[in-house]
Structure 1
Amino acid sequence: MKEKKERRFTRYSALILIMIIIFTAISSKLFTLQVFNSETYREKASVKSLREIPEVAPRGNILDKNGLPLALNTQTYILVYNQTEESDKYFFDTMSKVFNILDKNGETQKDDFELKVNPFTFEFRGDDDKTKRTLEVRFKKDRGFADEIKNKLYKDKKGKLTYEEKAKVDEELLNITPKETFNKLVKRYGIDDKKYSIDEQRRFMIIKDELKMNSFLGYRPVVVANNIKKDTAFKFIQMLNNFPGMDVTTRPMRIYPNGELASGVLGYISKMDSSNDKCSEKGYDISSDYVGKSGIESAFEDRLKGSKGGKIVKLNKYGRIIEELGSRDPYPGQTIQLTIDKDVQAATEKALDGRMKYLRENPLEQQGSNTINATRAAAVAIDVNTGAVIALASRPGFDPNAFAAPGGLSSELYKKYYPDINEFAKQYIERIGLMSYFPEQSEEDVLNKLFPIDTSVKGKIARVDIHDVCPKPLFNYATQSRVPPGSTFKPMTAIAGLESGVITPNYGVDDTGEYDIGGGHVIQFKLDGANGWVNLTRAIEKSSNPYFMHLAKLLRNAFGDDSLAKYAWKFGLGIDPNSNVKPATGIEISEAFGQVFNSWSQKNQYAQTYLWKIMQQLKAGVDDRGKSITAIDLYDRSGDSDKVKKLKNDIKKQIQNSIKDGDKAFNTNTYKNLINNLIEEDPKYKGANITKGQINSIISNIYYIAVSDAYSQTKIGAPMYFASIGQGMDEFTPVQLANYIATIANGGTRYSVHLVDKFLDPDGRVIEQVKPEVVERTGIKPENIEAIKAGMKAVNEKGTASQAFKGFNIRTAGKTGTASLNDQETFGRTDFAVYVGFAPLENPKIAVCVMVFDGGQGASSAYVAKDIFEAYFNKTS
C-alpha cells in the first residue's frame, strides 16, 4: 500500500514539474518578446509591403578635348514621400510642416508641374504654339478630363470615336482654362481650398498629382525637394518619426559647370513626358528619370545613361524602410571626350555675343542694312585635316542646368526659352517699326499678315513665326538652320568653272555693276557698283556678281543645269537627289542638310509652290488674270470620303506632273475625267450644275499656271545664275559651309564632321577612339585649288574682309557673303552676314564659318572669325 502511494506521488510530481518547466519557458519567451524585442516585433507587425526602390546610375561625364569637364554629376540629398494608407492619413499636416522647414532653410520644393498660379497659366515646353497645345491636351487627358467630355458629348456612343469626334474632344479640352483645370484638380485631390491659400494648394497639388501619375506605374516614391543642403537633410533625418511617409536619400544630379558654354553641342536632359513609350520599353521610369533631349546628351543617351541599380526593402505602414533585403549597385555611364576646345568655344561665343550687341547698338552703320534685330548667330570651327569640330556655337544659348535640376526652369527662364509668339509678335512689330510699311492697315491686320494664326490649332489663338524672326535658344542655328550662303559660295562656282575648263584663272569679265539674266531683266548691283575688268582673283576679292553669273552662263551653255551642282556635291554642299547617299555632314547631333541648285530639286520645288498657288486660286474661284471661274476645292477636308480624298490627290499629282514636264504630262481628257468624278462624288457640289464650259475654264487656268508659267520657269537660266552667287535655291547650314572651306583648305579631301574624340569607361580607360573618316577625295587639281586660295587671300588682305584682319599677325584667307531674302525689310529682316575662311594660309589648320542673322554685310562676321583664329593659335603656339 505504501509503495503505491509513493508511485502516485512520483507521477504527480513529474507532471507538475513538466508543467512548471513548460509554463516557465513560455513565460520566459513572452517576457523576451515583450520586453527585449518589443520594438522589433512591433515594426514587423506593421510591415506594409515589399518594394523595389530603383537607384539612378550617374550619367557619364562629357569632357572637352583636353579633359576639362563640360558635364558632370554631383551626389545630392533628396527628400521623398512614400505613400501608404497610414501616411496618407496625415498627408496635409505632414506636408505643411515639411514646407515650413524647407522654406526656413532656404530650400526649394521640386516643381516640374506645368500648371502655374498668380496668374493661372500653363508652361509647356514646346518650340511653337502648336506643340504647346498638343502637350496641353496630353496633360488634361492624363488626368481624366477627356473621359468627362466624352461622357458628356458621346454618352451613348458605341465603339471608338471618329477622327472628327476626337478632334472635338481635343477642342473642348483646350477650352478648359488653367484656372478651371486648377479648381478641378483641387477638388479631385481633396485639397481644402478654404483652409489653404492658392500657393499652398498648388504645393500640395504638385505632390498629389505626381502620386496620381505614379499610380499607373506601381509604387514610386515622390521627390518633394531635390538637391537640398546637407544640414537640411540631417535635420529631416532627425525628425523623420514626426513625418509619416517622409525619407531622405541621395541621388546623382547632372551639372554643367560652365553654364551656357557649348549648350548647342551638349544639349540638355529633361524629365520624360508621359507619351514617351519607347523609353518606357527600355526600362526608364517616366515618373522620375531624365533623358537626353538634344545635342550630345540625346545622341549618345544609350552610352551616357549607365545601368540602373536598386534595392528590395520592407516598408512599415508609415512608408519607412525597416529592412533592406537585397540590392544591385548602379553602374555609371560611359564618359565622352569631345573634340571641342573649351577655351576656343568660350572665345567663339563671346565674340558672337559681342558682335551682335554692337550691331544692335549701331543698327544703321552699314549702308542698306538695319541690324536692329541681330539677335541670332552661329559659328563653326573645324580641323581641316581631320574633320574634328574645334568649336560650335549657336546664339542665343541656354543654361542646361535649368533643365537638369527639377524645378530649375523658373517662369522667367520658361518665357525666355519657350517664347509666346503672340506676345513676342506685338512687341516685335512695335520695336522694329513695321507699321510704316503698312500705312493703311491696322496693327491687327499687320499682326495677322506677319504672324498668321495657325488654323490647325483649335481652341486658342496660336501664331506662326513664318519669317523666322523670334530668337530660339533651344534651336541649334549652327546645325539646323539652312541659310543662303551669299558670296561665300563663289569659290565653289570658281572651282566648277576651272575644273570644267570653261575658264582659266586669267579669264576676265568687264564688271559694269549689272547683269542681264535674260527675258529683258537686267539686275543692278548698286551696293557693289562697277568693278571694271576683273579676272578670277580680283573677282573673288571684290565679290563680283557679274563675273560669277557670267561664269554660270558659260557652265550652263556647255554642260547643262546641273554642271554647278556636280562639283558642289563633292564638297558636301547638298547631295545628288537621285543617289542613295545619306544627306548628312557626319556630325553626331541633329542636323538639317541644305541643297544646291539642281534641275531635279528645282522642278520638285516649283511643283509644290505652284500647286499651292493653283489650289488657292481654284478655291477662291479666280484665275491668274483676275477673272472669275468656278471654284473647286482641292484641299483635304476632315469630312472627305476615301474616294473624294483619292480624287483630290490624283488631281494634285496630275498638276505637279504638268509643272515638272509641261505639255508632255498635260492631258486635257485626264483632267476632265478627274474633275467630273470629283464633282459627282463630293457632296459639296450637289446641285451645282457645273457645265462643260466651266470645267474647261478650270482646266485652262491650270494649264496657264502649271505649263505656261511654272514649267517655262524651269527652262530659263536665271535660277542657276542666282545660285552661282549663293542666292536663290542655295541653302546650307553653317556646319556644311565650314566643311566645304576645310575641304578647299586641305587641298580637296572632304572629311566626315565629328564632335566625339573618344569614349571612356568610368575608370577613364579608352573604349573606343574615333578616327578621322574620309568621305570623298574630290580630285580637284592642285593648281585650281591654289587659284581659289589666291582669291581668298586677297579678300582678307585687301578685299571685303581686309579691315577686320588689318594688323593680324597670321596670314589668312577667306570670303565674305551677304545673303538676302525677298522683301525682307517689310518683316523686319536684313541680310545674313556670312564669313568663311581658314588659317594659316601656307599650312592650314583650322577652317571657320561665321553667320550673323540680320547682321548686314558679310564683312561684319569676319571680326568674329579673327577672334576665333586668335583663340585657337594662342592655344597651339
Structure 2
Amino acid sequence: MYNHEENENARTKQVFNRLNMLLLLVFLIFAVIIFRLSYVQIVDGEEYEQKATAKSDKKVPIPALRGNIYDKNGNLIVHSRGSFAAVFQEKDYMDKEYYINLVTKLEKILPGTKKEDLLKKMDVGYEYKDGKVEKSMRMTSKFLEKDLKYDLSQKEIAYLAEHRNELDGVSVVTKPIREYDPKQVAVQAIGYVRQFNVADNQGIEYYRQRKESYLPNQMVGYEGIERSYEEALRGENGYRMYQVAADQTILQQIKEVPPKRGNNLYLTIDQRVQLETRDFIKNFLPKLRATGRNAAYAKNAYAVAIEVKTGKVVAMVSYPEYDPNIWTSGPDKETYEKNKFSFTNGTIRSAPHDVSPKTGKDAEMENYKHPASVVPAGSVVKPATVLMGLSERIAPYSWSDPGAYRYGGAGDIIRNDSGHNYGMLTPQKAIQKSSNTYMANIGKLLSEKYKKNSVSVYQKYYHAFGLGVKTGIDLPGESAGGEDFLTMNKKYGPKAAMVQASFGQQGRYTTMQLAQYVATVANKGTRMRPQLVDRIVDNNGKVVQPFKPEVLSKLEEPDSYWQIIHQGMNMVTQQGGTAAGVFAGFPYRVAAKTGTSQQDIYVPDSLNFDKGVNWHKYKEINNGVFVSFAPVENPKLAVAVVVPEGGYGGQSAGRIARAIYESYDKYIGLGPTDKPYDPATAVPNTQETAKKAK
C-alpha cells in the first residue's frame, strides 16, 4: 500500500515538473516575441516607416524611330512611325482554355479582329481549324511579346487599361512600326526588321555583342540593307524618369530624354528601273514557260544592273518577290509557308526554286528537283578565258575549229553546241560563235604550261574579274559562288579541270558576281565594289556619310587585248551572233555573251537524312544566263541575268537584259549625258501613312 502511494506521488510530481518546464518555455518564447516587437517598434520603427513611404526613380525607355530609306531620286521606300499597339505576353499558368476565353473577349473589344487571327498571332501552340481549336507548331519563342493589333483608338486603349486585370497577358505599348512600300521595291535587297530577341536568339554576332544597347522587343535589322546599315538606321533610344512609390505608383515625371531618330539612307537603286524590270520578268516568265519543255519550269529570275564607272547598283531583282510588311507583326504559319521561297536574295546567294503552291514535305521534295539561283555560269565566262589566253600567249589569233576537240582519252571529247564546226576562228569570232572547242584548247594549253599550278593561274585571272570571290556588296550573307573545278582537279588532274572550266561548266557564280565580272570587262580590268547606298543623311538633311566609288583591283593588260574582247562581245549582238535577234533594232551597240549552262539534277530517295539516303540523277536541265554592257564605245551600264531552267540564254535571260537597257535609257539615258530626273516619272507611293514620314 505504501509503495503504491509513493509511486503515484512520484509520477504526479514528474508531471508537474514537465508542465512547469513547458510553461517556462512558452513564457520565454512570448517574452522574445514581445521584446522583438518592441524593438522593431521603438528602435527600427523609423527605418520601416521610411521604407513604407520610400520613393524611388524608375527609368522607362522610349524606343527610337528608325531612319527612312529612299531610292536614288528621293522616293520613299521604307519609313517608321509610332503606334499604340495591343501586345500579348504568354505566362506559365496559361492554358488552352485561357487562350480561347481571351481571344473571344478580345474579338469583341478590338474591332476588325477575329479570334482565329488573334490566336495565330499569339502563337501559343494552338490554332482554329474548321471552328475547333487544335494544337499547332509554334513559330517563335515563348518569351517573345506578340503583336495583336496596331493603331489602337483612344477608346480601345482606355478599355484595355480599365480591364487589364481581366485580360492578363495583354497590354498597350508604344511601338515604332516599320512600313515598306507595298509596290515591293527591291524587297530582298532592302531586307526587313524583327525583334532584337529574335536576332539575338538566332546567334547573329553583331547583336550578341550589343545586348546592353537594345531593348528586348526593339525592332532591329534582320536582313538586307536593314541589317548591314543597322548603326546608321537605328537611332538612339530615349527615356522618361519617374518618381514612384514603394507600391510602384507613379508620383511624378522628373526627367525626359527624347529619342533620336535614326539617319536616312539614299540608295543607288532607281525604283522606276527596278519596278519596270520586276514587272517585265513577272509578265515574261509565263510566256517563256509556254514556249516549250526546255523552259517549262522557269519560275525564278535574277537580274542586276550596275553602272560601269561607279559600281552603283541601279536595279537588283530577285524574283519572285513578296510583301515584307508581313514581318511587322511576324507572319503566321500559313503566311510564312506561302512566302518562304521568296525571302532569300538570290542575286547574292543561293535561293530556292519557287515550288508554290506546294507546302510542307511535298514542297521540300519538289525543291530538290530544280536548280537554285546559283547555277553553272556556262558560256558567259568565255571572254575571261580568251583574255587569260591572250595574256598567257596561248589563245591563237587564227585557229581551225574541228567541231569536236579531243584532249585526253578516247571519251574525253568537247563538242560545240549542236556539233557545229565554225571553221577558221579568231578570238573575236570564237566569242561571237561561243566555240567550246576554242576555249577547251586554251584550257588544255594552260594545263600543259603550268601543270599542277595551272588551277592557281586560272584562279588568278578569274578572281581578278570577281568570279570565285565575294564582290564586296554592302549586304550581309554574300556567297563567293562555287569553284567545282577544284574538285575535278583533285579527282582527274589539271588538264580535265582546265578544259572543262574554260567554257563555264565548272564554276557556279551569283548574279551579282556575273554583273561585277562583266562591268570589269567593260572597265578594261578595273573591278569596282558594287554599291547599294549612295549617302547617309541626318534628319536635318545634312549628309553625314557620302559613299564614293571604290576600286577593288585592277587587271593590267594591253589595251589591244581588251579591244579584242569588246569586239567579240559586240559581235554577239550583231548578225551571226548568238544574241543578234535579241538586240535587233536597239539604238545602241551592246557587248554581250550568252550562256546556256547544263546542269544535272540529283534528288534523294527520301527526306529521312538522319538514316542516310541515296541520291540519283533526276534530269538534266538548261539554265539561261546572260551578261552584257552598253554602249560599247563608252560603257555606262552592265547587266547580268540568270533564269534557272530558262533554256537558251539569249532567248530567256537576254530578253530581260534588253528590257533593263530600255528602261534605263528611258529614265536615265545610255547616251553620253544623263537625263535630268523628271518627278512626273516617279512611281506614286501608295502607302497611306507615307505623308506622316518625316
Q: Could you state the TM-score of these two structures normalised by the residue count of structure 2? A: 0.73
- Secondary structure, in 3 states, of the residue corresponding to 1:260? coil
How far residue 213 of structure 1 moved from its aligned partner, in angstroms, is 2.6
**Deviation readout 1:222-261 (Å, 9 max, x if unpaired):** 666332354xx43433674344477655322101114432
Aligned match for 1:336, one of 257, 265, 274? 265
1:552 aligns to 2:438 (yes or no): no
1:226 aligns to 2:234 (yes or no): no
CA distance in 2, matches of 1:796, 1:875: 23
Residue matched to 1:842: 633
How far residue 342 of structure 1 moved from its aligned partner, in angstroms, is 1.1
1:115 aligns to 2:125 (yes or no): yes
The change in CA–CA distance for 1:104 and 1:243 in structure 2 (over 3 A counts) is farther
Residue matched to 1:309: 238
1:513 aligns to 2:403 (yes or no): yes
Residue matched to 1:589: 476
Residue matched to 1:456: none
Whether contact under 8 Å (1:83, 1:319) holds in the other structure is: no
Residue matched to 1:808: 586
CA distance in 2, matches of 1:81, 1:46: 33
How far residue 585 of structure 1 moved from its aligned partner, in angstroms, is 3.4
CA distance in 1, matches of 2:114, 2:129: 24
**Which 5+ residue runs of structure 2 have no aligned equivalent?**
1-51, 92-97, 343-351, 604-616, 670-694
Whether contact under 8 Å (1:373, 1:829) holds in the other structure is: no
CA distance in 1, matches of 2:642, 2:274: 15
Which residue identity is paired with 1:115?
Answer: G
1:745 aligns to 2:522 (yes or no): yes
Whether contact under 8 Å (2:71, 2:271) holds in the other structure is: yes
Whether contact under 8 Å (1:509, 1:533) holds in the other structure is: yes
**Deviation readout 1:235-290 (Å, 9 max, x if unpaired):** 43367434447765532210111443201211111233373576364236675222
CA distance in 1, matches of 2:56, 2:583: 73
1:858 aligns to 2:636 (yes or no): no
Aligned match for 2:162, one of 234, 241, 251? 241
1:571 aligns to 2:497 (yes or no): no
1:326 aligns to 2:255 (yes or no): yes
The change in CA–CA distance for 1:314 and 1:468 in structure 2 (over 3 A counts) is farther
How far residue 804 of structure 1 moved from its aligned partner, in angstroms, is 1.2
1:867 aligns to 2:659 (yes or no): yes
Aligned match for 1:261, one of 182, 185, 191? 185
| 1:412-811 to 2 correspondences below 5 Å | 412-417=335-340, 468-469=368-369, 477=373, 481=374, 483-503=375-395, 506-510=397-401, 512-521=402-411, 522-525=413-416, 527=418, 529-560=420-451, 561-562=454-455, 563-574=457-468, 583-594=470-481, 601-602=486-487, 606=490, 710=491, 713-715=492-494, 717-728=495-506, 730-798=507-575, 799-811=577-589
- Secondary structure, in 3 states, of the residue corresponding to 1:336? strand
How far residue 66 of structure 1 moved from its aligned partner, in angstroms, is 1.4
CA distance in 1, matches of 2:361, 2:655: 42
CA distance in 2, matches of 1:114, 1:828: 43
| 1:69-108 to 2 correspondences below 5 Å | 69-80=76-87, 97-103=105-111
Which residue identity is paired with 2:410?
Answer: G
Which residue identity is paired with 1:382?
Answer: I
Whether contact under 8 Å (1:386, 1:772) holds in the other structure is: yes
Over aligned residue pairs, what C-alpha RMSD do you find?
A: 4.2
CA distance in 2, matches of 1:75, 1:796: 53
CA distance in 2, matches of 1:250, 1:463: 39
Residue matched to 1:358: 287
CA distance in 2, matches of 1:83, 1:734: 44
Whether contact under 8 Å (1:573, 1:595) holds in the other structure is: no
CA distance in 2, matches of 1:329, 1:71: 23
CA distance in 1, matches of 2:269, 2:58: 44
CA distance in 1, matches of 2:184, 2:587: 31
Which residue identity is paired with 1:781?
Answer: P
**Deviation readout 1:265-317 (Å, 9 max, x if unpaired):** 11111233373576364236675222222111111222221112232447899
**Deviation readout 1:559-579 (Å, 9 max, x if unpaired):** 44244333222212235xxxx
CA distance in 2, matches of 1:756, 1:828: 41
The change in CA–CA distance for 1:313 and 1:493 in structure 2 (over 3 A counts) is same
How far residue 76 of structure 1 moved from its aligned partner, in angstroms, is 2.0
More strand by share: 2
Residue matched to 1:384: 308
The change in CA–CA distance for 1:99 and 1:337 in structure 2 (over 3 A counts) is same
The change in CA–CA distance for 1:54 and 1:828 in structure 2 (over 3 A counts) is farther
How far residue 508 of structure 1 moved from its aligned partner, in angstroms, is 2.2
**Deviation readout 1:529-555 (Å, 9 max, x if unpaired):** 222222222211111111111222233
Which residue identity is paired with 1:513?
Answer: G
Equivalent pairs counted in the alignment come to 575
CA distance in 2, matches of 1:523, 1:502: 18
How far residue 748 of structure 1 moved from its aligned partner, in angstroms, is 2.1
- Secondary structure, in 3 states, of the residue corresponding to 1:375? coil
Q: Which has the larger displacement, 524-533 or 271-280?
A: 271-280
1:275 aligns to 2:201 (yes or no): yes
1:58 aligns to 2:65 (yes or no): yes
- Secondary structure, in 3 states, of the residue corresponding to 2:309? coil
Residue matched to 1:185: none
Identity over aligned pairs, percent:
30
CA distance in 2, matches of 1:871, 1:827: 39
CA distance in 1, matches of 2:251, 2:99: 20
Whether contact under 8 Å (2:239, 2:259) holds in the other structure is: yes
More helix by share: 1
**Which 5+ residue runs of structure 1 have no aligned equivalent?**
1-44, 85-89, 121-195, 215-221, 365-369, 420-424, 432-459, 576-582, 607-709
Whether contact under 8 Å (2:243, 2:254) holds in the other structure is: yes
- Secondary structure, in 3 states, of the residue corresponding to 2:175? strand
The change in CA–CA distance for 1:499 and 1:81 in structure 2 (over 3 A counts) is closer
Whether contact under 8 Å (1:81, 1:247) holds in the other structure is: yes
How far residue 100 of structure 1 moved from its aligned partner, in angstroms, is 1.0
The change in CA–CA distance for 1:346 and 1:463 in structure 2 (over 3 A counts) is closer
Whether contact under 8 Å (2:601, 2:619) holds in the other structure is: no
Whether contact under 8 Å (1:838, 1:848) holds in the other structure is: yes
The change in CA–CA distance for 1:284 and 1:115 in structure 2 (over 3 A counts) is farther
CA distance in 2, matches of 1:92, 1:461: 30
The change in CA–CA distance for 1:382 and 1:247 in structure 2 (over 3 A counts) is same
The change in CA–CA distance for 1:471 and 1:413 in structure 2 (over 3 A counts) is farther
Residue matched to 2:6: none
CA distance in 1, matches of 2:370, 2:335: 17
Whether contact under 8 Å (1:303, 1:334) holds in the other structure is: yes
**Deviation readout 1:369-415 (Å, 9 max, x if unpaired):** x2222122211111110111111111222221111x21454613434
Residue matched to 2:40: none
Which residue identity is paired with 1:564?
Answer: Y
